[in-house]
């Protein structure tokens, strides 16, 4: 995909414009509006970007689509799916389908973990899968192709060798969240999609599209879910509001709190990770985010009552890393920072 040679210049000009509009009125609504407009202008110059949505205090204050995307078009949200799987685990625990997050996984896979040598794997916990600390060799990155072309994704994930003691080190692996999807399927007696449809999508007011399944029919856990950007906003607002959608407690509030506790750090990105959510600071504010390959994001910034969503091309290419960095700069400098200033002034 071609890149725009003017994008860095346009973004710099957008930052300059946002900083000079309403000069002497730092943190005013006028400057916040100007910054949001500048964010839209900068975003329009990114050839890989498909959408940018901003919800502030429950109101959608910016909604822009680019490069042929539109509001009703489903986006492959890639690993944002991991945050959704985490929510489903929390709901299943609240409903008594799963006893506790510290339960070992052995009882869910008796036919695959029955050998005496599998005893350590039987003691891996659901929490360790959620936090990417199962200790198993990753199925992601260089191992991803072999995994998703295997005849049994669950067996493949469980037969990986240990690279660390469970609970001791974070190693990002979609195999972990796919095991969670398999556990949800067994624990609830229905497919992960069916459970998500009734327990999560329906209370949020939408219907969840089906996404890919493994050869055994288990819905892909932690990748390739399909959501519209507005549905992503609704999911982010659910976490912003302590798991409530209107008068309905969809996800337990305690689960939201626990999901936002740092439990490991990626040696690749240096970002901290909780129950399927990443964490970092943005313009001095604590930000929690769901993150998918290529630039799929749901940012939740509780102090500002802010949710920001982006979707992007999922095509591979050298420019995707610079695109991701630019998206983060636009969100932090043109959205989070100005609204943070407005909050400080207010």
The tens digit of pLDDT for each residue in 282-301 reads 999 999 999 999 999 999 99
For residue 80, pLDDT beyond 60: yes
- Predicted confidence at residue 12, as pLDDT, reads 64
pLDDT band at 29 (very low <50, low <70, confident <90, very high): low
For residue 218, pLDDT beyond 60: yes
DSSP 8-state symbol, 136: B
pLDDT band at 342 (very low <50, low <70, confident <90, very high): low
Nearest to 176 by CA among 134, 207, 205: 134
- Predicted confidence at residue 98, as pLDDT, reads 98
Alpha helices in the chain (DSSP H): 7-20, 29-43, 81-94, 119-122, 126-130, 144-148, 153-158, 174-188, 192-196, 202-204, 229-240, 253-259, 319-331, 337-345
What architecture does CATH give domain 78-202? 3-Layer(aba) Sandwich (3.40)
- Predicted confidence at residue 13, as pLDDT, reads 61
- Predicted confidence at residue 180, as pLDDT, reads 99
Domain 7-76+227-345 fold is: Beta-lactamase (3.40.710)
What residues does CATH 3.40.710.10 cover in the chain? 7-76+227-345, 78-202
- Predicted confidence at residue 8, as pLDDT, reads 57
Q: CA 119 to CA 305: how far, in whole Å?
A: 46
- Predicted confidence at residue 32, as pLDDT, reads 75
Q: CA 67 to CA 79: how far, in whole Å?
A: 22
- DSSP SS3 for 306: strand
Two tokens at 135?
């200790």
DSSP 8-state symbol, 336: I
Mean pLDDT of 260-278: 95
Compare 10 and 203 and report the one with higher pLDDT: 203
């Amino acid at each position: 995909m071609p890149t725009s040679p003017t994008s860095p210049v346009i973004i710099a000009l957008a930052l300059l414009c946002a900083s000079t509009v309403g000069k002497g009125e730092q943190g005013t609504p006028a400057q916040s509006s100007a910054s949001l407009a500048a964010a839209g202008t900068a975003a329009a110059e990114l050839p890989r970007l498909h959408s940018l949505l901003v919800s502030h205090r429950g109101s959608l204050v910016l909604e822009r689509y680019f490069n042929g995307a539109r509001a009703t078009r489903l986006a492959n949200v890639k690993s944002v799916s991991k945050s959704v799987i985490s929510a489903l685990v929390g709901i299943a625990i609240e409903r008594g389908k799963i006893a506790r997050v510290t339960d070992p996984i052995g009882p869910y896979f008796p036919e695959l973990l029955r050998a005496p040598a599998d005893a350590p794997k039987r003691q891996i916990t659901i929490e360790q899968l959620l936090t990417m600390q199962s200790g198993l060799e990753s199925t992601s990155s260089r191992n991803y192709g072999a995994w998703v072309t295997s005849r049994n994704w669950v067996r493949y994930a469980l037969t990986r060798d240990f690279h660390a003691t469970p609970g001791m080190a974070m190693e990002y692996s979609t195999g972990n969240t796919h095991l969670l999807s398999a556990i949800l399927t067994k624990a609830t007696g229905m497919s992960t999609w069916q459970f998500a449809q009734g327990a999560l999508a329906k209370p949020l007011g939408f219907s969840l599209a089906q996404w890919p399944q493994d050869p055994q029919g288990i819905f892909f856990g932690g990748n390739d879910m399909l959501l519209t950007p507005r549905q992503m906003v609704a999911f982010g607002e659910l976490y912003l509001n302590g798991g409530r959608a209107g008068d309905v407690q969809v996800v337990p509030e305690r689960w939201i709190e626990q999901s936002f506790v740092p439990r490991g750090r990626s040696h690749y990105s240096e970002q901290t990770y909780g129950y399927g959510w990443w964490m970092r600071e943005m313009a001095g504010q604590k930000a929690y985010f769901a993150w998918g390959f290529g630039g799929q994001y749901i940012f939740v910034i509780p102090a500002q009552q802010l949710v920001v969503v982006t979707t992007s091309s999922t095509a591979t290419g050298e420019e995707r890393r610079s695109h991701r960095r630019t998206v983060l700069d636009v969100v932090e400098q043109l959205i989070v920072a100005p609204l943070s200033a407005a909050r400080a002034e207010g």
